[in-house]
Amino acid sequence: MSPELSPIDRAKYIAARRSCDFVESGMRVGLGTGSTAAWMVRRLGERIRDEGLEIVGVPTSTRTADLARQLGIPVSTLDEVKWLDITIDGADEFDETLNLIKGGGGALLQEKIVATASDRMVVIADVEKEVRTLGAFPLPVETIPFGWQTTKALIEETLVNMDVLNRETTLRMNDDVPYVTDEGNYIIDLHLKRIGNARQVALVLNQIPGVVENGLFIDICDAVVIGRSDGSVEVRDLTAGTVAREHLDVLDSDNIFAEKTD
């Protein structure tokens, strides 16, 4: 790892590296999507190469699958493995009860399917992803392309009765054309600023015709690993009710992190 990384990227790397300690040989592992998850995938590749770690990875996007194959991680599908021991993924926001907003990278549908088909979901994030109330990050809603403008209008109409601060919605674009997910769908981003009742919003959105899934992950995450640029890391395990704080030292001489306990 290069010492030239920005503070945010260093924090992401620290969280990703620590999260890989949850992975043991023989596990079926859900591989998340996004910049933080990419660090995790690289670290698992290192462990396979250097430690002989034996796992099967189930990627949540084509780009994660491509990266995993490049790093020598055996890749399978959820249909083939049926169930996963653990999924490790990033998040755009998380609150104190480990409810999440995900989908900034456009892979929310596969991410939610894989996470819910796992014994445990571990989220990796830098400290800036933690919020008191979800909603500052735009909430992605995946919709089918057919009639998307009608679906968008129905979403806006539904939001009138929701406990949210703002109701602006936009179609996610890729330059001058709509962004298309791996499943061939569109994403409508909801700029809500604050979500008062995330559970209600998640349930109501999924009742709208044309909506495939939304980026609210409620009661899915079991633990979060929070990295900071100074090398400190915090592991909050909701299931066990524990909080552990550790430190990872940057060794510029060989550009790796060596773990130690405070």
92 is in an annotated binding site: yes
90 is in an annotated binding site: yes
182 is in an annotated binding site: no
Residue 58 CB contacts under 8 Å (≥ 6 apart), including other chains? 28, 29, 30, 31, 75, 76, 77, 78, 81, 84, 114
- What b/e readout covers 142-174, taking b as 16+ CB neighbours within 10 angstroms? bbeeeebeebbebbeebbeebebeebebeebee
Helix (H, G, I), strand (E, B), or coil: what is residue 233? Answer: strand
152 is in an annotated binding site: no
| Helix ranges restricted to H, 59-135 | 62-70, 78-81, 108-116
80: annotated active-site residue: no
- The CA distances from residue 196 to 136, 161, 166, 200, in Å, are 12, 12, 11, 9
103 is in an annotated binding site: yes
Would you say 180 and 186 are in contact if contact means Cβ atoms under 8 Å apart?
Answer: yes
Residue 108 φ then ψ, to 5°: -60, -35
What is the rounded (10 degree) CA torsion for 240, 8, 73, 1?
-120
Tally of CB atoms within 10 A around 15:
30
34 is in an annotated binding site: yes
169 is in an annotated binding site: no
Q: Compute the 3-state secondary structure of the chain and give helix, strand, coil in percent, each to the nearest 5.
A: 30, 30, 40
Q: Which is the catalytic residue, given 24, 80, 111, 213? A: 111
102 is in an annotated binding site: yes
239 is in an annotated binding site: no
Would you say 148 and 117 are in contact if contact means Cβ atoms under 8 Å apart?
Answer: no
Residues annotated within a binding site for substrate: 33-36, 89-92, 102-105, 129
Active-site positions?
Answer: 111
Residues annotated within a binding site: 33-36, 89-92, 102-105, 129
